[in-house]
């Protein structure tokens, strides 16, 4: 029997329409463990809808989604979001205000209190925030809250991390540092990553592979510099032209 290669995420031909208009049109992607794929494209091209279907908070009209080789969704079968081994990080995906930083990170973990606390401490330490473990989210800056959100998303060791423009709420001064730290931690944890962004510069900086999306479709896939040096068409070229 033929062995299928191990994939953290595999989506095949997923499609979604709203009001008769296809906003995601037969999108296919596969991501290996430890690989960062950036879904890059202009506002409104269908990036967030794609991510929401993978997360399980939006249902596709057709197509299949596998996480770690397991079918999580086709048109008749659907694993609920919390059982998909997926970590989520969105720009406006807020921390729980009534829980301490440590409790936020431990929230999705199973096991005993001491074990959960140790895992939360280790991740907070890794993002340089262990000293905030008993503080509350409102006592932290935006950048610090974003690091806690990353630690929370990674705590249950998801097979795949879905990140939707996670850095766009941060000011420029902080953004590069947080991008680099985030990338280091993601690589260390070994999850496959699908990062959505409309900023070519962010994709160039973070991606192992870029999937360029336009009007609901993936128009080009490849290593960042391959796409940068040989965009598939004029629109792709124009999209990259403001990076220098
Ligand atoms: P992106 O994240 O690339 O900016 P989205 O996936 O958010 O794009 O949206 C793609 C298109 O689908 C947009 O035209 C948007 O208005 C539309 N859309 C998204 N969600 C809904 C919805 N729940 N109902 C109707 N239209 C939607
Ligand atoms: Mg979006």
Q: pLDDT by residue (tens digit) across 9-18?
A: 999 999 999 9
ipTM above 0.90, yes or no: yes
Helix (H, G, I), strand (E, B) or coil at 99: coil
Atom of ligand 1 nearest to the CA of 198: 3
* For ligand 1, atom 26: residue with the closest CA: 18
From 44, 51, 57, give the residue whose CB has the most ligand 1 atoms within 8 Å, as the site to mutate: 44
- Distance in angstroms (rounded) separating the CA atoms of residues 193 and 208: 10
Q: 68 C-alpha to center of ligand 1: Å?
A: 27
Ligand lying closest to the C-alpha of residue 19: 1
Give the tens place of pLDDT for each residue, 154-206. Answer: 999 999 999 999 988 888 888 888 899 899 999 999 999 999 999 999 999 99
Q: 165 C-alpha to center of ligand 2: Å?
A: 7
Q: Where are the beta strands (DSSP E) in 84-207?
A: 86-90, 160-164, 192-197
162 Cβ neighbours under 8 A, 6+ residues apart? 51, 54, 55, 86, 87, 88, 89, 194, 196
- Distance in angstroms (rounded) separating the CA atoms of residues 3 and 17: 34
Point out the least confidently predicted range of 72-81, 195-204, 235-244. Answer: 235-244
Cβ atoms of 42 and 239 closer than 8 Å: yes
Helix (H, G, I), strand (E, B) or coil at 108: coil
The residue among 94, 92, 131, 124 whose CA lies nearest residue 106 is 124
Q: What pTM value is reported for the model?
A: 0.93
What are 16's two structure tokens? 């979604």
Q: 164 C-alpha to center of ligand 2: Å?
A: 7
What is the per-residue pLDDT for 240?
81
Pocket of ligand 1 (CB under 6 A): 18, 23, 41, 43-49
């Amino acid at each position: 029997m033929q062995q299928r290669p191990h994939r953290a995420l595999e989506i095949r031909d997923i499609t979604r329409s709203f009001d008769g208009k296809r906003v995601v049109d037969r999108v296919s992607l596969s991501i290996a463990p430890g690989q960062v794929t950036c879904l890059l494209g202009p506002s409104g091209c269908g990036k967030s809808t794609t991510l929401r279907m993978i997360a399980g908070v939006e249902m596709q009209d057709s197509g299949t989604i596998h996480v770690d080789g397991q079918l999580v969704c086709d048109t008749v079968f659907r694993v609920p979001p919390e059982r998909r081994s997926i970590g989520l990080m969105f720009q406006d995906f807020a921390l729980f205000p009534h829980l301490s930083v440590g409790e936020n990170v431990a929230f999705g973990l199973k096991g005993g209190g001491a074990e959960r606390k140790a895992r939360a401490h280790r991740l907070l330490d890794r993002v340089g925030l262990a000293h905030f473990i008993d503080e509350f989210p409102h006592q932290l800056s935006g950048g610090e809250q974003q690091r806690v959100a990353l630690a929370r998303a990674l705590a249950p060791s998801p097979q795949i991390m879905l990140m939707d423009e996670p850095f766009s709420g941060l000011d420029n001064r902080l953004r590069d540092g947080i991008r680099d730290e985030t990338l280091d931690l993601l690589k260390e944890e070994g999850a496959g990553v699908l990062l959505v962004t409309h900023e070519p510069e962010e994709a160039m900086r973070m991606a192992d592979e870029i999937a360029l999306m336009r009007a609901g479709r993936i128009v080009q896939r490849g290593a960042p510099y391959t796409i940068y040096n040989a965009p598939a068409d004029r629109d792709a070229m124009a999209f990259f032209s403001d990076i220098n």
